[in-house]
Structure 1
Amino acid sequence: MGCWNERITKEFAKLKQKATEAQPYSGKVGSEDLDNVDMAYRVVADHIRTLSFAIADGSCPGNEGREYVLRRILRRAVRYGTEVLKAEQGFFNGLVKVVVEVMGDFFPELKQHEIKIREIIADEEASFGRTLVKGIEKFKKAIYDTGVVEVPSGVFGVSNVQMYGGFVVHIGSFEGKTGRLSVGDKVICKVNYERRKLIAPNHTCTHMLNFALREILGNHVDQKGSIVLPEKLRFDFSHGKPVKPEDLRKIETIVNEQIKSELDVFSKEARLVDAKHVNGLRAVFGEVYPDPVRVVSIGRKVEDLLANPENEEWLSISAELCGGTHISNTREAKAFALLSEEGIAKGIRRVTAVTTDYAFKAMELASSLEQEVNEASETEGSVLEQVISYICQHI
């Protein structure tokens, strides 16, 4: 199958390049494939072959057993195609004809069921497309400013900002009953700096948390999502089992040590290819980054990282591709406290944390709870039951 799979890969690459002027398939693997484009070509080619044969044999993507495996295979291919190769939604079912052209003479069942194969994949692909759009809208890493836009006819309150179709869309409403915004209007934009002041330390601590997780749990840890709010931060990552309490304490300690070290936070734009060469630099798989891209590093200047990208020292600092708002020095975060750790899907864990005065408050509550538990350990019988009930009600 390897030779045929290579032919499918090359045929798909030709179609993809012709349609979108994407870079051609070059067969790079591992560290040479910096942008994962060649890997994406191979994933899409392998998965369309697998699905075509499975459907020809009578299987179909679904919710249980091997049918669910096929659904996962299809969705993985679609994500690689749309997010890495920038293929249009609905591209995947069109590749069935490539499989038939390359392998149909050897496997006549492919030609016999070509229409059926394409229709099933098209239906599943469309369904996933709708699910994916809703999921991205709901869980997209959103670290945006809010504020107001003053226009001649009133004030437009901005409650959200999103990227859509290459444009920065400001979402909100006019304050009061009147208000109108027209092309050519001169406006004054005013950022809500009070909100930004709360968001920034949480965002910077998200970077330090990402670094600490890898330090303690291992390099298999990859970011799977995050939300940064004024009152807390939430971080999802790949890890196959619950994090041990002692490891959580180590992770929390690393972040607090970086806060106490009063490290400067640096940011600078760089060419995407140069940034990705930096040893230990973290990026979110599937995220579409601009070129040039903004690099945020903690404790070392970005210029130092770019000047000597292979330096092993960079493995001991936090460096990420990021366009969000940050504090200028880690001391501004004041403190960091983990609130919870839980599983949200197979192989995916989630931690929630707080910073600044919220962290101090969490630490005080934890200390108080520990004292109550210690006192409860000295009681027994009905009194112990009452104490336990009281503690549970106040957790």
Structure 2
Amino acid sequence: MRRSVVTATAGLAALAVAASGCSGKSAGGKPEIQIGLISPMSGPFAVLGISQQNSMNVEIERINASGGLDGSKLKLVVRDSGLDPGKAVQAANELAGNDAVKLVVGPSLTAFYDAAKGTYEKNEKLNCQPAVSTGSFAGLNYGFRSQDPFDLDGKTVVDWLKQEGVKSLGLVYEGDDTGKNTDALMKRLLPQAGIEYLGWQTSRADDQSHRAYVEKFRNGGAIMVSSSSSGAKTMAAAAEIGYKGKLVGAGSGMQNISFVEAAGDAARGAVFPAALYQYPQRIDRSQWLPGYRKHIEAIESKYGKNVGPKTGATSPKGTAIAADCVYVFEQAVKSTKSTDATKLAKAVENLNLTAEQTPSGDAIQPGPSHEFYHRVHLYQWEKDGKGWYTREITPS
């Protein structure tokens, strides 16, 4: 947020011809507009890629059903990064150099994007990033972030911890760019809030358990866990040792039910920042924002729900912030009547979309910062007789 995908260029070319005829043109007579997705479609974080693909497909199908864009139908082209930076960069190079691709979503994860963004800028390729949490987009011409901003995430969590009277926090995170940035952010924010920083335990991708890391913070008031797949191991380790402090996410990854599956009842009370996430709350759907409800119900209808086999926790098989990338592209093409990347980038910068309109239920105002969202919500996992749900605890 989400098996296999065709990766051979020749194979994709053959599929494109088969889908659009020998001319390679869509039914309307104009060449199809391709949208690329680079994300983990296999491996331990495949749920992210599959969720992104599903949400993007729902939006593309909606647009095509209404006649397409600028006389062309849209087509999604997927590349599996498999959490391999080499594959991610190779895919970015390929799609950036393909003139038929007018928008690329991904590669997911900050380190992968950091290695690819120069290629996008050089090739003037519009790109949208719903799974890149750190770093600035303000200096980019063609890159935009459709995720809750990392600095705002951190401040929202720390403000809540201060409000709760927490006195200390330890960090368990991978030793990647996001981990380094999270460590630096906690060193800056925690002292300002009067909270002791207990340090950073650097996890590894091949760790079987995070128990040794969690033991270091057994007496700490809070542990911050990774938003990536390894964060679930930290949650599980906290459950193993009977950790009594607060578990908080560094980003929105904890909305993934794999975290609840790993930690079980220890996930009760775990807190994470995210863009709007009304799905698992005890709120009647009539109160959901209309664009969000429309998108989530389309996901449920076409793809169904994720259901945790141990906990019964559920989530939609999609991620609305990826859908926002397609929705924004649609609005930019409509306003410019063009697919020229420079014109589209300027149009995206100037968008002012209300929360009622968008698939995510978040207002989108990119501006010069190239950040879609300027507000972060805070959620807490809870459990009652009906099962697992979240409640919003965003500080006022």
Q: Normalised by the shorter chain, which TM-score bucket?
A: under 0.3
- What TM-score does the superposition give when structure 2 sets the normalisation length? 0.25
Which structure has the bigger radius of gyration?
1
Higher helix content, 1 or 2: 1
- What TM-score does the superposition give when structure 1 sets the normalisation length? 0.25
